[in-house]
Amino acid sequence: MGLLSKKDAALITDPFADNNPITIQVLGICSALAITAELKASIVMAISVLFVMGVGNIVISLMRNIIPSKIRIIAQLIVVATLVIIVDLVLKAFQYELSKTLGAFIGLIITNCIIMGRFEAFALANGPWRSFLDGIGNAVGYGVILILVGFFRELLGSGTLLGYKVLGDPIEKTGVYAFGYENNGFMLLAPMALIVVGIIIWIQRSRNEALIED
């Protein structure tokens, strides 16, 4: 039977494809638009959210029987905010360079509605182990889309990947630029992130009829 039962494994694999938080549930769009202009930022954000969701889901799940339902949203928000601030402080003290890279993301992690969404929809009703898997699954599903969008936006917008000039130098006119290719500056702007996400949704739905709504 392996490490995970079938039901548990589905918690990880579902959000990855047919229940993807971005393309199917359409959550977390704000951060998907804001930080995907380059691949590196997308990867950093994906890892940060993976951590916060994994740990956050466990904490909320452990507290699920003592949190009063009237203030559960506030309690969830406090848990996310606390986790993020702890990570931020520890990084500032021991990994200063990394913390500077992450600085801009801190606020975006706290407000990421996928995190709140999974707390509310899953961790409040399930045990810590399953909640942890659900958190990891959704964070990976989110991260994959983020990295995909970041990949296309950086490649087509700046002609680079992770800062490396993979298409040649646009100013010296080497590589593909020698044939008259130009970077599409529009890719760097937020609307194009939405369009790229839209195209991913389109491809995904056209391949899987079960996802098509009337």
Partner 1 sequence: MSKKTDSNIYTLIFATGMVLVVGTLLAFLASSLKPTIDENKRIEKQQNILYAMGVNDNDESSAIFVSKDKVGEEFSKYITKQLVIQGGKITEDDNAYLIDVKKEQTAEKEGKERKFPLFVGEKDGKTFYIAPIRGKGLWDAVWAYVGMDEDMVIQGAYFDHKGETAGLGANIKLRFFMDDFIGEHLKKDGAFKGIAISKSNNDPKNEDKIDNEVDAIAGATITGDGVSAMIKSELKKYVSFFNTLKTN
How far apart are CB 99 and partner 1 at their closest, in Å? 9
- If the CB atoms of residues 37 and 136 are measured against partner 1, the closer one turns out to be 37
Rounded-to-integer distance, Cα 168 and Cα 162, Å: 14
- In 3-state terms, what secondary structure has residue 164? strand
How far apart are CB 53 and partner 1 at their closest, in Å? 19
Rounded-to-integer distance, Cα 145 and Cα 121, Å: 21
- If the CB atoms of residues 119 and 136 are measured against partner 1, the closer one turns out to be 119
Contact (CB, 8 A) for 135 and 15 = no
Buried b / exposed e over 78-88, threshold 16 CB at 10 Å, is: ebbeebbeebb
How far apart are CB 37 and partner 1 at their closest, in Å? 3
- If the CB atoms of residues 53 and 80 are measured against partner 1, the closer one turns out to be 80
Q: Which of 86, 138, 134, 81 is nearest to 110 (CA)?
A: 81
How far apart are CB 46 and partner 1 at their closest, in Å? 13
Which residues lie near partner 1 (CB under 8 A)?
34-38, 41, 65-71, 74-75, 78, 82, 85-86, 89-90, 92-94, 96, 103-105, 107, 153-154, 157, 163, 171, 185, 188-189
